[in-house]
Amino acid sequence: MAESEQVGGIPANEQIADVIVNHQHDINLSDFAVKRVLSVNPQRKTIFLEGCFKDKEGKAVLLLEKQAFEEKSVAHITANAELSKLFVNDCYGSYECFPEAKLNGIKTTLIFPATDKHIKKFESQPIHIIEETKDYYKNITLPHLTQDQFNLQWVYNILDGSAEVDRVVLEDKDPNTGFVLLPDLKWDGKQTDSLYLLAIVRPHGILSLRDLHNEHLPLLINIRDKCLAAILERYGVPKSQLRVFLHYQPSFYHLHIHFTYLQFEAPGIHAEKSHLLSTVINNIQLKPDYYQEATLAFAVRESDNLFTSYENKGIVKRCPPKEENETQNSN
């Protein structure tokens, strides 16, 4: 499974990629009972639900996302569509449309069985910026990563060809510079306007941007050149219309690189999260240990154990509850 949306201001599908589940049982969504809404993103038209399945043990997280319109199906919207008027002002009218035709199904992602950690990850939370120095990384972030991260078996399943084989766009089997390129979960694999692919590196042990140095330049350049060529050939999108970047902090700690259509406002493209691959390569060429020495900013939610690690060191402070904030503002 490749990566997912924004939860509490942070890309959630940062998101789905870090939570892969092996569904060993038949699933019927009509048996899903909603316990609570974890978060809603009106801009991205997504909602995260916590619930459970009838006659099945374990918690579940369900992501529902409205899909983009397809040009070929737009004509069906006006056919026998019912309009409910909201208001009219001069030549401007606002209506709610109820098409008779079945259009644009809801993209659904299921995590089952889900752990408390999965549920916490998708729950709406205040977020904070951490300015991570090399000492903070060594003494706070890295110890946290070695103790608290999602299982990466789903990544290894993709790399060894035991899962998602039919979704692979390009594969390079070189153990040092190889990778697998496949669509991210956020993309349906059809509409180039929302193109989103993920390149997962073959070498193990490269956790994130922090581990990259001059020895990894052949790997990064190989991924850049071959993936750009493959995307142009298969989808007709040139490199000048692609955003190629890495996340920090990433959603899962096995190095991977994102390829998105430039006009698609994908989650995780903001300054506190995204690092362009071209900039990463250039920085390493200028200074081989750039990412071991640099101060890197990242966003973290209060529910994340990494936030707690920084909070315990007095580096960041938790927001007071909303009720307390409202009382202070009224005074």
Q: Which residues are catalytic?
A: 256
Give the integer Cα–Cα distance in Å for 172 and 225: 12
The encoded tokens of residue 265 equal: 């406002």
Give the integer Cα–Cα distance in Å for 32 and 59: 10
Give the integer Cα–Cα distance in Å for 245 and 257: 6
Give the integer Cα–Cα distance in Å for 228 and 223: 8
Count CA atoms within 13 Å of residue 171 on its CB side. 10
- First CA to last CA across the chain, in angstroms? 50
Instruction: Assign 159 to helix, strand or coil.
Output: helix
* Entry field: residues in the chain: 331
Give the integer Cα–Cα distance in Å for 110 and 185: 11
DSSP annotation of 283 reads H
